[in-house]
Amino acid sequence: MRYFLQLAYRGTNYHGWQRQPNGLSVQEVLEKALTTILRQPITIVGSGRTDAGVHAGEQFAHFETDATLPAHLLRSLNSLIPPDIAVYSCFPVRFDDHARYTATFRYYQYQISRRKDPFREGLVYVFTPDLNVTRMNEAAERLLHHTDFESFSKVKTDVLTFDCRIDWAYWQEKPNGDLIFHIRANRFLHGMVRAIVGTLLAVGQERLSIADFENIILARDRRKAGRAAPAEGLSLVEVGYPEEVFYNRV
């Protein structure tokens, strides 16, 4: 039987979602806990990989087992994993429902604080230089007219295509001056959101023009784009699936 997990985590203490040979990952923590509870080796597959230090308000993963799930699985699972990871639900799905390949979109937010904030340490990027948010939004809108985002992908990556369909990309300015970058797409390349944010910040500082930004997209060269924004400001906030995936969800 295949099951989906819905979970969230603060990524500060982890080397990303995916199991790593040289650091603790969210995947490793969950697999160890499920293996302990179900008394058989469990491997989980996530909806996507988040980088080291990146957070998730909503993440999905699937695993398979022939064991009967205990009645209090969630209580047992949450008691075994650290407090910076939480599992909210576990439900059966069809065998061809896949946490990664069945997903129809991923929605990320990048949060910037315009002043030091001890209550959000590790959850926002503190960035104080003046920014032209209008220009940043004009540049972000250009993303919707393109599909090849090799310029915003890490160089050493094992993808077959750099094509992504971006549904929306825009900056929201809050009354206190803080900024949230919203971006949703069918898929994201490794390091893509952070590279886009870093380059848009250069536009906002008027070190790049809007035309420069579009030319960076067309160049298909990571060296042309700006530096990646720090991981702590980035969160995966929603993963979309067809409605039928959730028929057995309780």
The Cα–Cα gap between 142 and 210 comes to 8
Give the pLDDT of residue 250.
60
Give the pLDDT of residue 155.
78
The Cα–Cα gap between 40 and 66 comes to 9
pTM, to two decimals: 0.95
The Cα–Cα gap between 95 and 2 comes to 6
Give the pLDDT of residue 21.
86
Partnered with residue 111 across adjacent β-strands are: 180
Task: Give the pLDDT of the chain (250 residues) as one tens digit per residue.
Answer: 999 999 999 999 999 999 988 899 999 999 999 999 999 999 999 999 899 999 999 999 999 999 999 989 999 999 999 999 999 999 999 999 999 999 999 999 999 999 999 999 999 999 999 999 999 999 999 999 999 999 999 877 778 899 999 999 999 999 999 999 999 999 999 999 999 999 999 999 999 999 999 999 999 999 999 999 999 999 999 999 999 998 877 6
Give the pLDDT of residue 160.
83
* Domains delineated in the chain: 2-102 (3.30.70.580), 105-237 (3.30.70.660)
Per the annotation, the verdict on 51 as an active-site residue is: yes
Give the pLDDT of residue 134.
97
The Cα–Cα gap between 231 and 128 comes to 17
Give the pLDDT of residue 70.
93
Give the pLDDT of residue 15.
95
Give the pLDDT of residue 247.
83
Sign of the alpha-carbon torsion through 198, 60, 247, 89: negative
Name the catalytic one among 51, 66, 148, 167: 51
Kindly provide the b/e burial profile for residues 159-196, where b requires at least 16 CB atoms within 10 angstroms of the residue's own CB: eeebebebeebebebeeeebbbbebbbebbbbbbbbbb
* Extended strands (E) in the chain: 2-9, 44-46, 55-64, 85-93, 105-113, 125-126, 166-173, 179-185, 234-240
